Amino acid sequence: MKKDWWQRFVNTKSSENIDTKRKKLVLFAFTYIGGTILVIFGIKTPAESNLALKVILLTTAVIIFSNAFVSYFHEKLEVTFTITGLSIIPMVWAIVYTGGHLNTGLYWTFPFPITLFILFGYLRGLQLNIVLFSGIAFLVLSPEQIEASYRIAEVSRYFAAYIVNIILCLIGEYYRSRSHTELTKLSVERQRQANTDPLTKLPNRRFINTAFMNMVTDEQFDHFPITIAVLDVDHFKQVNDNYGHDAGDLVLKQLADVIKSSVRDTDIVARTGGEEFLMIFLDAEIQTGLIIAEKVREAVENSQFDIQNRSLPITVSIGCVEAKTYQQFEQGTLLADKQLYKAKSSGRNCIC
């Protein structure tokens, strides 16, 4: 069993879904509000004097409206974000090129850096903003190549304000992203603590009933057949009575290490009660499971459990059953318990 067993069961979908929902809401708000503004401006732009701008504004509005509508029928939101983002960039360049209404095109470029950061995050958002700004700078610094006419003083102040705008948006999105990551890590750590036995550092019963059961019921789970093995320490009460509960805890901690080192990396070992452990052997028919369980039993029998300057002989009894489906797995623990009682009745230190 791997030391980082919890990483296989980490559930960050809730935090990811929250962030995706945030971006989706921003996308729809941008689409419906921004698209409506584009349509209004596109209609008001006179075709005889600025046909190119009119066509670009209306075309961009159609693209982002259609893109948002189609997104209701698929889950590839990154594609939706990309289409919207890539439609924004040439539109902004077109506004700067033509000058927009009454040569005010530069002023309408300021809302778009924050939009790109929100849709794509701070890294990709920064890359796209650099592309967007580079195109704007090329157009503005090539007055002979464009239709608009911008004053030198206006251009210098615009560049300063636009760069400050990008920097502030970058800082805000970067630290928002960091906060989201830290909150996700905190949530994962709390999940891990809630699903870990504090004494042995093994998974606990809560883990089996929640995280593992969620994985087993997933349609993509393909690790059947499973061997379920319930392990119990023989005469453990005598250890507590003769040496104290602290000594018993030390035995359980050492026992957990022995069991973990005896099973496969893909197997799961959980402490489900006082001196009871649950072992789950994935992709293991009962014959394979019995072999692994016997390896565990022998390892425990041959190990030294040093308590209070003396070595205690510790043995375990194990009950095993096979589960080929999720429904069988639900009943598997009860059936494995019955097999464990058989092992106890057969003299202990054995497997049934």
Q: What is the pLDDT of residues 320-343, one digit of tens each?
A: 999 999 899 989 999 999 999 999
Inside any domain, residue 196: no
Residue 53 counted as domain residue: yes
Residue 9 exposed, middle or buried by CB count within 10 Å (0-12, 13-18, 19+)? middle
> What is the distance of C-alpha 206 from the center of its chain?
21
Residue 11 has pLDDT above 80, yes or no: no
Which residue has better confidence, 188 or 143? 143
CA nearest to 27, candidates 76, 64, 59: 64
213/142 same-domain check: no
Q: Sign of torsion, CA 204 206 211 216?
A: positive
Residues 249 and 275 in one domain: yes
Report the pLDDT value the prediction gives residue 50, as an integer from 0 to 100: 83
pTM: 0.74
The answer on 115 and 69 residing in a single domain is yes
Q: In Å, what is the CA distance from 345 to each residue of 239, 340, 342? A: 20, 9, 5
Percent of the chain scored above 90 by pLDDT? 78
Structure tokens given for 146 = 């464009």
Q: How far is CA 281 from CA 1, 78, 176, 225, 293, in A?
A: 10, 38, 42, 9, 9
Range of the domain at 290: 205-345
Which residues in 15-51 are b (16+ Cβ under 10 Å) and which e?
beeeeeeebbeebeebbeebbeebbebbeebeeeebe
* 3-state SS record for 217-231: CCCCCCCCCEEEEEE
pLDDT on residue 12: 63
Residue 195: inside a domain: no
Helix (H) or strand (E) holding 23: helix 13-29
Cβ within 8 Å of residue 218, ≥6 positions away: none
Angle formed at CA 293 by CA 291 and CA 296, multiple of 5 degrees: 115
169 plus 227 within the same structural domain = no
pLDDT at residue 263, rounded to an integer: 97
Residue 198 lies in a domain: no
**Sign of the torsion formed by the C-alpha atoms of 108, 109, 114 and 115:** positive
> Are 179 and 222 found together in one domain?
no
Cα(332)–Cα(326) distance, integer angstroms: 9
CATH number at residue 298: 3.30.70.270
CB count in 10 Å sphere of residue 90: 15
Q: Please tell me whether residue 234 adopts helix, strand or coil conformation.
A: coil
Q: Write out pLDDT tens, residues 268-303.
A: 999 999 999 999 999 999 999 999 999 999 999 999
Residues 179 and 226 in one domain: no
* Residues 210 and 279 grouped into a single domain: yes
Q: Does the residue 197 lie in any domain?
A: no
* Contact of 269 with 278, CB cutoff 8 Å: yes
Residues 278 and 332 both lie in one domain:
yes
Do 74 and 221 reside in the same domain of the chain?
A: no
The total domain count for the chain is 2
Is residue 312 located within the same domain as residue 265? yes
Q: Are 258 and 299 in contact (CB under 8 A)?
A: yes
Of 130, 47, 55, 151, which Cα lies nearest the Cα of 95? 55
Write down the H helix ranges in 71-151. Answer: 77-98, 111-140
Burial (CB count <10 Å: 0-12, 13-18, 19+), residue 311: exposed
Within 8 A by CB and 6+ apart from 348, the residues are 234, 235, 315, 317
284 and 249 co-located in one domain: yes
- 187, 219, 242 — which closes off a domain? 187
The H or E element spanning position 271 is strand 268-273
Q: Is the pLDDT of residue 150 over 90?
A: yes
**pLDDT on residue 13:** 66
What single DSSP character describes residue 147?
A: S
Nearby residues of 159 by Cβ (< 8 Å), 6 or more positions away: 137, 140
| Mean pLDDT of the 59-71 span | 95
Residue at 87 is within a domain:
yes
Is 200 domain-assigned? no
Same domain, 174 and 107: yes
Q: Which amino acid is at 294?
A: E
